[in-house]
């Protein structure tokens, strides 16, 4: 898949494919654990999520991690469900258009890696080693 201009905006499946490609491109030690996180792509964050995060505009949230970071998990914990990353297509597309200096694939990769950073408990330096855009 390319980032070539098209007459239509990328759909949910295309954004999801880019996010999975970002996971596949992670260094091998991180790939299996990243694939264990449920990845969902939705058009918009819910009003309840925006309220919970005290975010006024749905355009201000491109992705969110919902789960317990690996650095905080214990074998003694009761499972609460799968860890989930939600990417929000419309805010991602809006940011991509506003920026105008990155490809959509680069932005989706950046958002995906940022959310995975919450799951893995990565520092800013850890993120920068995997996602050069973070520097």
Nearest to 49 by CA among 38, 67, 37, 61: 61
Where in the sequence is the domain holding 27, given as residue range(s)?
Answer: 12-68+82-134
Nearest to 111 by CA among 1, 33, 18: 18
| Mean pLDDT of the chain, nearest integer | 86
**Does a structural domain hold residue 2?**
no
**Does a structural domain hold residue 113?**
yes
Return the exposure string of 112-126: e unless at least 16 CB atoms fall within 10 Å of the residue's CB, then b: bbbbbbbbbebeeee
CA dist 48 and 62 (Å) reads: 15
**Does a structural domain hold residue 63?**
yes
What is the pTM assigned to this prediction? 0.84
pLDDT digits (tens, 9 = 90+) for 83-99: 999 999 999 999 999 99
Please check whether residue 108 is in contact with residue 22, taking contact to mean a CB–CB distance below 8 angstroms. Answer: yes
Q: Structural domain tally of the chain?
A: 1
**Does a structural domain hold residue 32?**
yes
CA dist 120 and 114 (Å) reads: 10
- Residue 25, domain CATH: 3.30.2010.20
pLDDT digits (tens, 9 = 90+) for 63-121: 999 987 666 665 666 667 789 999 999 999 999 999 989 999 999 999 999 999 888 88
**Does a structural domain hold residue 108?**
yes
pLDDT on residue 115: 93
């Amino acid at each position: 898949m390319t980032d070539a201009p098209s007459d239509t905006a990328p759909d949910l499946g295309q954004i999801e494919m880019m996010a999975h490609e970002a996971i596949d491109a992670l260094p091998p030690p991180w790939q299996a654990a990243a694939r264990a996180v449920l990845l969902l792509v939705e058009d918009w964050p819910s009003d309840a999520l925006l309220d919970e995060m005290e975010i006024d505009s749905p355009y201000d949230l491109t992705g969110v991690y919902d789960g317990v970071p690996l650095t905080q998990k214990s074998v003694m914990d009761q499972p609460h469900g799968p860890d989930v990353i939600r990417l929000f297509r419309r805010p991602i597309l809006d940011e991509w258009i506003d920026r105008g200096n990155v490809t959509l694939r680069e932005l989706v990769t950046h958002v995906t890696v940022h959310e995975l950073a919450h799951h893995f408990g990565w520092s800013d330096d850890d993120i920068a080693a995997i996602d050069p855009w973070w520097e």
